[in-house]
Structure 1
Amino acid sequence: MHLIRAGKLDIIHSGRSTGLHVDVPSLLFYPRAMPRRFVSDEPNGADLACAELHFDGGVANPIVAALPEFVCLPLESIAGAGPVLAMLFDEAFSDNCGRHVVVDRLFEVVLVQLLRHLMETGESRGGMLAGMSHPKLRKALVAMHEQPAWEWSLEGLADIAGMSRSVFAGCFRDIVGCTPGAYLQGWRIRLAQQALRQGRKLKMIAIDVGYGSEAALSRAFKAQCGMGPRKWRQSLEAD
């Protein structure tokens, strides 16, 4: 994430014939790796505060998968961000004790405000963010995220959303891009991957993410990732 406080920038993206020209305070966000080069006005330069963000699961994270290739927004278009950005810039361009910790936290706040903006303006490309912007589907998504181990049924999720079973299933598929069952399995497997990185035992992981046994988790994990959890962890360690 790049926050441009002042100055002008030309942003050149590799492999693209056209670039971007920024001449107002702006936010640039690259959810996935994308080669880029910044060219500033020679006599005046530009003031930037930048952060490297890490999402659990990398590009497989449901938030990352729902985001566009890159985002470029004037800072003034992000509702409620003014005071946070003012404090962030003050800390970033000062020598205050502990400023790195403060700036890290403030960047997290800006990220949340950016995600809200993308949801409210419909700029996410389907997936979780699109579902979270829907007033009814978000209730079901929050329930799955908060209680992934629960034995969710289509009827139960539809009740939480306040919709009929058939309308909920169709609306979820159209907006999120997959069935509720596929989304829940994907979320459970991402939680399992996180636990595997932490070195936890497979039997306990299976219970925590809603599978009654190691065998059931292994089947779902292989269907999602193309390999079982043990092999996946071995490949992770090899990398």
Structure 2
Amino acid sequence: MSDRLASLLDHFSISARIFHSGTLCGINDLPGDGATGQLHLVRQGVVEVMHGDAAAARITEPSLLLYPLPMTHRFRTDPERGADFVCANLCFEGGPANPIAAALPAFICRPLTALQGAEPVLNLLFAEAFAHNCGREAMLDRLFEIVLIQVLRHLMEDGGVQVGMLAGMGHPRLRLALVAMHDKPAHDWSLEELAGHAGMSRSVFANSFRERVGCTPGVYLQRWRIGLAQRALLRGRPLKWIAIEVGYGSEAALSRAFKASCGMSPRQWCAARQGNAPLPAAM
């Protein structure tokens, strides 16, 4: 069976960098004004998670808290006993335009026992986090990245995301069409061909795809291609070569599709990026 995450992670990298390990006591505010998401692992302790004035979760067992994109949050713990945390910043290449970050809920809270097969990695991560071994930070960064992949597997398998790309990747048939598009974005995909990959009739495939992924296969393919084009632009690739690589016959065709998805031309998008203006993801 094709690896559902291989093309996504090859094209849009995710990196982690640990910034805290130890006990947090009382009230701790974490601002959401940066460019990174965060992944918190709670080893022990009771934690009240607040989003503004609203209670978002109450942690009473070892758990993970995932914020794919920047979001202000607050942890309340016992002022004396506190709770043991290991925390990392997450950088999704492309920020909000990263298809994995865009597909994830804004906040995910799961007990660590829900991550099947993750116990050895988590045990190693906690052991490293609370020791003082050489190479500790580099090792923890890699272990956080592994945990995040296990979270993605979990969300695809247990139906934790109801609509969107990850929901489609969790479907036993639709995933085959999605992987085909991810692997070969330049191919001239027809609805019939994609339905064939999924082993479904054209009408059943189209309806199932729209219901599960939240858009038509054609719209999804365009978003995927534009996301790849944005990534290539950031890496300095010439527009005429990008057009060929992502499945558009000419620079003009890519520019039209880009503007339809992003509301601006590729050159305007690059200029806005260089000026640090807010950038829209593919719509």
- The one of 176, 190, 203 equivalent to 2:213 is 176
Measure, in 1, the Cα distance between the counterparts of 2:187 and 2:58. Answer: 49
- The one of 76, 82, 102 equivalent to 2:139 is 102
Measure, in 1, the Cα distance between the counterparts of 2:53 and 2:203. Answer: 44
2:69 maps to 1:12: no
CA contact (8 A) 1:62 1:127 kept: no
Q: Residue type matched to 1:120 in 2?
A: E
CA contact (8 A) 2:162 2:212 kept: no
Q: Residue type matched to 2:150 in 1?
A: Q
User: Please, which runs of 5 or more residues in structure 2 have no aligned partner?
Assistant: 1-38, 277-283
- The one of 55, 62, 65 equivalent to 2:92 is 55
User: C-alpha displacement at 1:12, in angstroms?
Assistant: 1.6
The answer to which of 27-36 and 57-66 deviates more is 57-66
Measure, in 1, the Cα distance between the counterparts of 2:64 and 2:263. Answer: 37
The equivalent of 1:213 in structure 2 is: 250
Measure, in 2, the Cα distance between the counterparts of 1:168 and 1:211. Answer: 24
The equivalent of 1:151 in structure 2 is: 188
Measure, in 1, the Cα distance between the counterparts of 2:162 and 2:272. Answer: 30
Measure, in 2, the Cα distance between the counterparts of 1:108 and 1:206. Answer: 31
Identify the structure with bigger relative contact order (alpha carbons < 8 Å, sequence gap 6+): 2
User: TM-score w.r.t. structure 1 length?
Assistant: 0.95
Q: Residue type matched to 1:3 in 2?
A: L
User: Please, which runs of 5 or more residues in structure 1 have no aligned partner?
Assistant: none
User: C-alpha displacement at 1:64, in angstroms?
Assistant: 2.3
Measure, in 2, the Cα distance between the counterparts of 1:77 and 1:125. Answer: 18
CA contact (8 A) 2:50 2:74 kept: yes
Q: Residue type matched to 1:237 in 2?
A: Q
Measure, in 1, the Cα distance between the counterparts of 2:194 and 2:56. Answer: 44
Residues 33-92 of structure 1 deviation map (CA, whole Å, 9 limit, x = unaligned): 321111221221211111111223322333223222311111111111100000111112
The equivalent of 1:41 in structure 2 is: 78
Measure, in 2, the Cα distance between the counterparts of 1:100 and 1:138. Answer: 35
Local SS of the residue matching 1:175: helix
The answer to which of 18-27 and 133-142 deviates more is 18-27
User: C-alpha displacement at 1:93, in angstroms?
Assistant: 1.7
Measure, in 2, the Cα distance between the counterparts of 1:66 and 1:45. Answer: 33
1:12-161 equivalence runs, <5 A: 12-16=50-54, 18-161=55-198
Measure, in 2, the Cα distance between the counterparts of 1:216 and 1:121. Answer: 39
The equivalent of 1:226 in structure 2 is: 263
The structure with the greater share of residues assigned to helix is: 1
Measure, in 2, the Cα distance between the counterparts of 1:105 and 1:167. Answer: 41
Residues 140-159 of structure 1 deviation map (CA, whole Å, 9 limit, x = unaligned): 10011111111111111111
Measure, in 2, the Cα distance between the counterparts of 1:19 and 1:160. Answer: 40
How many residue pairs were aligned?
Answer: 238
CA contact (8 A) 1:28 1:73 kept: yes
CA contact (8 A) 1:68 1:125 kept: no
2:21 maps to 1:3: no
2:239 maps to 1:202: yes
Residues 96-140 of structure 1 deviation map (CA, whole Å, 9 limit, x = unaligned): 111222111111111111111112221114111000000000001
Q: Residue type matched to 1:136 in 2?
A: R
Instruction: Report sequence identity in percent.
Output: 61
